[in-house]
Amino acid sequence: MDIKSINIEAYIESLFAKNGPEESELNYLFAMMNEVKAEDIEYFRSLVSSLFNRHTLIGFAHTKPFGYSGDFFIIEKIYQFYLSQDEKIRKWDMFFQLTPAVLAVRNRKTLAIGIFEELNNEALGLQKEVLILGSGPVTETFEFLGKNPESSLVFEMLDMDKRAIAYAKNKNKKYLDRMTFLNRNVIRYTPEKKYDLIWSAGLFDYFKGKHFVFLLKKYYEYLNEGGEMIIGNFNIENPSRRSMEILCDWFLYHRSVDELKKFALQAGIEESKIDVLQEPLGINLFLRVRK
Ligand SMILES: C[S@@+](CC[C@H](N)C(=O)[O-])C[C@H]1O[C@@H](n2cnc3c(N)ncnc32)[C@H](O)[C@@H]1O
């Protein structure tokens, strides 16, 4: 598609005239955004700038009221499939919620719950230690414990943002007997014990390769024998990457299966202990390393 060959201004105007795109138009919009050249991003943004306020999901992501991309609040809105009640906004929110990258974020919550259930089944009633790096709203654990109230997993939650910690503590107030919250930076934190599972989603794709390898190497040391560390990262195959970058100003390091495996090898982990999982859309990959 040549973006110059369509009257993009008229098209975007027509979308606003009907309060946002229909679901049937979304693939067309993603394809259109994939064609936007770097030098045209600001022009494209100027056409949709009325969305850039905290009342729309796109605008919330774009304006970053918490000061950074991927805060606990927008992630929780994704998990709850929030849509504005305002008719002028609702279709735009639906557009955001149906973005493939956003579907993949919801899928990763389901994948996390499955991983916790696997560990819980293997535990045979013995206590298992879980560390979550960049824990955000802690919705996956909340849902896991809702489904498995007798679980023998205990959790340590690490997040740098104290507002995320406050939100997650309040959400999980029923489960505080098995959760410890630490308001710390994963780069500086030194654990005082070892874990059976270290889980991290939505964090390592903000880190450069050398930080990724540094953190992997560091936290691998804190796994019990037989334990595993699972790290989520967006795949280079993400059909909505440009849309997230242009509309939401949300930039991530996208990585391939091979790149993730290479990081694990660079961290000194044996090849036979390395694996990569994915959620059903293949947009979120998960490097899984065993001890
Ligand atoms: C995109 S959210 C993901 C939340 C959660 N893991 C999930 O998948 O729902 C990333 C979280 O990591 C936290 N975070 C970012 N950098 C961090 C760092 N260096 N140390 C600890 N937490 C960090 C943010 O505050 C945010 O709550």
Q: Residue 132: which CATH number?
A: 3.40.50.150
Domain of 147 in residue numbering reads as 1-291
pTM, whole model, 2 decimals? 0.95
Number of domains into which the chain is organized: 1
Substitution candidate for ligand 1 out of 102, 138, 160 with most atoms within 8 A of CB: 160
**Residues 73, 278, 234, 241, Cα dihedral to 10°:** -90
What residues are paired with 158 via a beta bridge? 133, 182
Evaluate: CB of 159 within 6 angstroms of ligand 1.
yes
The rounded Å distance from CA 203 to ligand 1 centre is 5
Evaluate: CB of 130 within 6 angstroms of ligand 1.
no
> 284-290 and 223-234: which strand pairing?
antiparallel
Evaluate: CB of 185 within 6 angstroms of ligand 1.
yes
108 CA: nearest ligand 1 atom: 8
The rounded Å distance from CA 136 to ligand 1 centre is 5
**Residues 141, 146, 147, 150, Cα dihedral to 10°:** 90
What residues are paired with 214 via a beta bridge? none
Per-residue pLDDT of the chain (291 residues; tens, 9 = 90+): 455 556 888 999 999 999 999 999 999 899 889 888 889 999 999 999 999 999 999 999 999 999 999 999 999 999 999 999 999 999 999 999 999 999 999 999 999 999 999 999 999 989 999 999 999 999 999 999 999 999 999 999 999 999 999 999 999 999 999 999 999 999 999 999 999 999 999 999 999 999 999 999 999 999 999 999 999 999 999 999 999 999 999 999 999 999 999 999 999 999 999 999 999 999 999 999 999
Evaluate: CB of 213 within 6 angstroms of ligand 1.
no
